[in-house]
């Protein structure tokens, strides 16, 4: 500590107070706070370069979170073993240190400096502590004007580190509380069966504005977009933003059932209408009365049911299967498809009059690759969710992992992103998700690596297997859908699955 009778440099003291105020105002953005810590420490003692390394429990390393100065960018993101170098010494001993002749100090590990070709003469390093536990190391490198760090510098740096530790703690608590709150809000919603719609792109913001505009009316809405883009989540938003939100939201997948079962599922049946109709049963339209029915995969609706649906839209009436008693239904229709429905209209697989009725208000959801601004937001959301479900505490993506996600094309859209992150959380050994954990980086090269050394026949089998597996995953193991995407017969697909020994991984 600064001695009682020594004269306190008033300039430095002012700087410290000013820094303190800055530290305490940046707790909402964790990374910004870390940067402020490093900048401020360097300013206080007059260092040319500075860094903050945080301990990562999973890998037992110190990771340079922030590095400023001439070679900062090269150092940032690098990790060193916790028992190496001056930072390692400071971390393990929880003590600060001045090394004014770094090149000749046994504790100095020249590898990092060499790697980033930065010549280090003098180092001042202080531990960063949160409630007595050391969490990282602040390193200040090369006193300006080729000077040496003095004991006085060390005392100021220690004083500063106490303040930084408190700010760090506050910021961490704030982030935890914020995450906890948003997690609980989402959880309440999810327990009621709703999904949390996450986005930050302008494209999705525009779609949500459309949703809010059309929601209050009773107009039918047709949601279009590739598989996994979140069509069902948008349908939920239409319902939740409508005056029907207190009434049922009934989901029906038109591809899930054969024609006769689907008809009775949608419209109900009376006792004796067909062999298994042992009693009267209301259909989903009746169940949705006053609310919204979501007809997913509407393009798969058989032609006969298309006419029945058209009548529901036009006259709001229908009959249960086997009955001629007309039932009135007050149901808002929201439909979705990932197929080119206009083309199906041209080939007369879909009734044009029904199409026009449904298409009064189309909403096209763009694929993820056309709104990459959503990737970081979505990725963080899924990471929090799965880290939480697996009791992993706070987890983060490495910069390269984030870059890999931004560069990847995501053919399976958000569903694929979510799956990749879920898997990465399971296989990651530390709190950092690396690009390897995501298993999406440069698929070309990894595939080629796997295939090299194989003969053509083996390589083709391997390729076919991974290609089909991927297609199945993207179509949620629905073989009919997968076969259609691959433009092959369903029976051929099922034979390939057996031949190639493809097994569905249990969730
Ligand atoms: N904006 C989003 N925010 C959060 N999660 C999302 C979002 N969009 C999609 N998801 C996730 O991706 C999954 C797939 O979304 P959804 O079922 O709505 O896709 P879809 O467009 O209906 O695809 P398909 O045509 O294959 O049925 C959802 O279960 C959800 O977990
Ligand atoms: Mg869907």
Cβ 473 under 6 angstroms from ligand 1? no
Has residue 353 got a pLDDT over 90?
Answer: yes
Tens of pLDDT along 271-286?
988 888 889 999 999 9
Q: Helices 456-474 and 413-427 sit at what angle, rounded to 10 degrees?
A: 110
Same-domain pairing of 60 and 109 = yes
Residues 8-22, mean pLDDT to the nearest whole number? 86
pLDDT score of 507:
42
Of ligand 1's listed atoms, the one at least distance from the Cα of 417 is 12
The answer to whether residue 355 is domain-embedded is yes
- Between 107 and 401, the more confident residue is 401
Contact between residue 99 and residue 108 where contact means Cβ atoms under 8 Å apart: yes
- Between 216 and 145, the more confident residue is 216
Give the closest residue (by CA) to ligand 1 atom 7.
230
Same-domain pairing of 386 and 339 = no
Q: Name the pLDDT band for 270 (thresholds 50, 70, 90).
A: very high
Give the closest residue (by CA) to ligand 1 atom 16.
230
Cβ 63 under 6 angstroms from ligand 1? no
Side-chain-side CA neighbours of residue 130 (13 Å): 12
Contact between residue 199 and residue 377 where contact means Cβ atoms under 8 Å apart: yes
Q: Name the pLDDT band for 186 (thresholds 50, 70, 90).
A: confident
Return the H-helix or E-strand segment holding 61: strand 61-68
Alpha-carbon distance 201 to 411, whole Å?
18
Q: Please list, in sequence order, all residues whose beta carbon lies within 8 angstroms of the beta carbon of residue 25, skipping any fewer than 6 positions away.
A: none
Same-domain pairing of 361 and 387 = no
Alpha-carbon distance 334 to 251, whole Å?
10
Cα 414 to ligand 1 centroid, rounded to whole Å: 6
pLDDT score of 444:
39
Cα 249 to ligand 2 centroid, rounded to whole Å: 15
Alpha-carbon distance 182 to 161, whole Å?
31
Pick the ligand that lies closest to the CA of residue 482.
Answer: 1
Of ligand 1's listed atoms, the one at least distance from the Cα of 338 is 25
The answer to whether residue 241 is domain-embedded is yes
Mean pLDDT of the chain: 89
The pTM of this model reads 0.67
pLDDT score of 3:
52
pLDDT score of 505:
57
Q: Helices 490-499 and 479-486 sit at what angle, rounded to 10 degrees?
A: 100
| % of the chain exceeding 70 in pLDDT | 94
Has residue 12 got a pLDDT over 60?
Answer: yes
Same-domain pairing of 239 and 99 = no
pLDDT score of 445:
37
Same-domain pairing of 379 and 359 = no
Domain final residue pick, 127, 150, 172: 172
177 SS3 class: helix
pLDDT score of 500:
78
Of ligand 1's listed atoms, the one at least distance from the Cα of 235 is 18
Cβ 198 under 6 angstroms from ligand 1? yes
Alpha-carbon distance 343 to 217, whole Å?
28
Cα 311 to ligand 1 centroid, rounded to whole Å: 30
The answer to whether residue 196 is domain-embedded is no
The answer to whether residue 194 is domain-embedded is no
Contact between residue 368 and residue 229 where contact means Cβ atoms under 8 Å apart: yes
Cα 321 to ligand 2 centroid, rounded to whole Å: 27
Cβ 233 under 6 angstroms from ligand 1? yes
Alpha-carbon distance 347 to 343, whole Å?
6
Cβ 231 under 6 angstroms from ligand 1? yes
Domain final residue pick, 120, 152, 172: 172
pLDDT score of 232:
97
Tens of pLDDT along 288-335?
999 999 999 999 999 999 999 999 999 999 999 999 999 999 999 999
Cβ 127 under 6 angstroms from ligand 1? no
Q: Name the pLDDT band for 506 (thresholds 50, 70, 90).
A: very low
Same-domain pairing of 377 and 337 = no
Cβ 320 under 6 angstroms from ligand 1? no
Cβ 158 under 6 angstroms from ligand 1? no
pLDDT score of 452:
62
Residues 346-368, mean pLDDT to the nearest whole number? 95
- Cβ-based burial of 321 (10 A; exposed 0-12, middle 13-18, buried ≥19): buried
Cβ 227 under 6 angstroms from ligand 1? yes
- Between 388 and 316, the more confident residue is 316
**Torsions phi, psi for 438 (to 5 deg):** -75, -25
Cα 377 to ligand 1 centroid, rounded to whole Å: 15
Same-domain pairing of 276 and 391 = no
Tens of pLDDT along 38-77?
999 999 999 999 999 999 987 889 999 999 998 888 889 8
The answer to whether residue 181 is domain-embedded is no
Alpha-carbon distance 501 to 161, whole Å?
59
Same-domain pairing of 67 and 96 = yes
Same-domain pairing of 44 and 111 = yes
Cβ 414 under 6 angstroms from ligand 1? yes
Of ligand 1's listed atoms, the one at least distance from the Cα of 196 is 4
Q: Which of 96, 88, 92, 106 is nearest to 152 (CA)?
A: 96
Pick the ligand that lies closest to the CA of residue 365.
Answer: 1
pLDDT score of 272:
87
Same-domain pairing of 299 and 378 = no
DSSP bridge pairs for 76: none
The answer to whether residue 504 is domain-embedded is no
Cβ 412 under 6 angstroms from ligand 1? no
Same-domain pairing of 393 and 360 = no
Cβ 26 under 6 angstroms from ligand 1? no
Same-domain pairing of 23 and 156 = yes
Q: Name the pLDDT band for 1 (thresholds 50, 70, 90).
A: low
Number of domains observed in the structure of the chain: 3
The answer to whether residue 4 is domain-embedded is no
Domain final residue pick, 337, 366, 395: 366
Cβ 229 under 6 angstroms from ligand 1? yes
The answer to whether residue 192 is domain-embedded is no
Cβ 225 under 6 angstroms from ligand 1? yes
Q: Cα 257 to chain center, whole Å? A: 32
Enclosing domain of residue 266? 202-366
DSSP bridge pairs for 127: 137
Give the closest residue (by CA) to ligand 1 atom 25.
227
CATH number at residue 434: 1.10.8.60
């Amino acid at each position: 500590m600064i001695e009682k009778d020594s004269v306190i440099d008033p300039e430095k003291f002012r700087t410290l107070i000013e820094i303190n105020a800055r530290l305490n105002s940046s707790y909402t953005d964790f990374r910004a706070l870390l940067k402020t810590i490093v900048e401020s420490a360097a300013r206080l003692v007059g260092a040319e370069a500075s860094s903050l390394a945080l301990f990562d429990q999973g890998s037992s390393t110190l990771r340079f979170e922030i590095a400023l100065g001439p070679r900062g960018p090269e150092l940032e993101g690098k990790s060193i073993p916790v028992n190496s170098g001056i930072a390692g010494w400071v971390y393990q001993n929880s003590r600060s240190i001045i090394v004014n002749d770094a090149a000749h100090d046994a504790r100095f590990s020249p590898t990092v400096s060499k790697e980033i070709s930065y010549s280090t003469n003098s180092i001042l390093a202080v531990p960063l502590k949160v409630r007595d536990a050391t969490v990282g190391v602040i390193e200040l490198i090369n006193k300006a004007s080729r000077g040496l760090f003095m004991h006085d510098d060390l005392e100021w740096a220690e004083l500063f580190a106490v303040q930084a530790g408190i700010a760090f703690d506050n910021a961490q608590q704030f982030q935890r509380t914020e995450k906890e709150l948003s997690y609980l809000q989402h959880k309440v919603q999810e327990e009621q069966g709703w999904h949390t719609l996450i986005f930050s792109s302008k494209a999705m913001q525009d779609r949500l504005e459309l949703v809010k505009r059309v929601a209050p009316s009773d107009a039918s809405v047709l949601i279009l977009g590739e598989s996994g883009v979140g069509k069902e989540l948008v349908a939920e938003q239409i319902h939740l933003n409508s005056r029907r939100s207190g009434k049922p939201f009934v989901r029906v997948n038109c591809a899930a059932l054969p024609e006769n079962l689907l008809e009775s599922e949608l419209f109900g049946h009376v006792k004796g209408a067909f062999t298994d109709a042992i009693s009267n049963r209301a259909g989903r339209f009746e169940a949705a009365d006053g609310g919204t029915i979501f007809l997913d995969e509407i393009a798969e609706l058989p032609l006969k049911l298309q006419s029945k649906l058209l009548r529901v839209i036009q006259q709001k009436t229908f009959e249960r299967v086997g009955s001629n008693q007309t039932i009135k239904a007050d149901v808002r229709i929201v439909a979705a498809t990932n197929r080119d429905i206009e083309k199906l209209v041209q080939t007369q697989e879909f009734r044009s009059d029904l199409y026009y009725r449904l298409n009064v208000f189309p909403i096209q959801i763009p694929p993820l690759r056309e709104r990459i601004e959503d990737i970081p937001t979505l990725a963080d959301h899924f990471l929090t969710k799965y880290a939480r479900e697996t009791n992993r505490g706070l987890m983060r993506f490495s910069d390269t992992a984030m870059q890999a996600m931004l560069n990847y094309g995501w053919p399976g859209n958000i569903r694929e992103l979510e799956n990749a992150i879920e898997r990465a959380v399971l296989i990651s050994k530390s709190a950092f998700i690396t690009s390897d954990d995501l298993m999406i980086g440069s698929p070309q090269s990894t595939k080629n690596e796997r295939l090299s050394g194989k003969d053509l026949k083996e390589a083709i089998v391997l390729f076919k297997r991974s290609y089909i597996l991927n297609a199945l995953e993207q179509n949620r193991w629905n073989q009919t859908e997968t076969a259609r995407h691959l433009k092959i017969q369903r029976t051929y697909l099922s034979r390939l699955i057996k031949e190639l020994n493809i097994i569905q991984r249990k969730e």
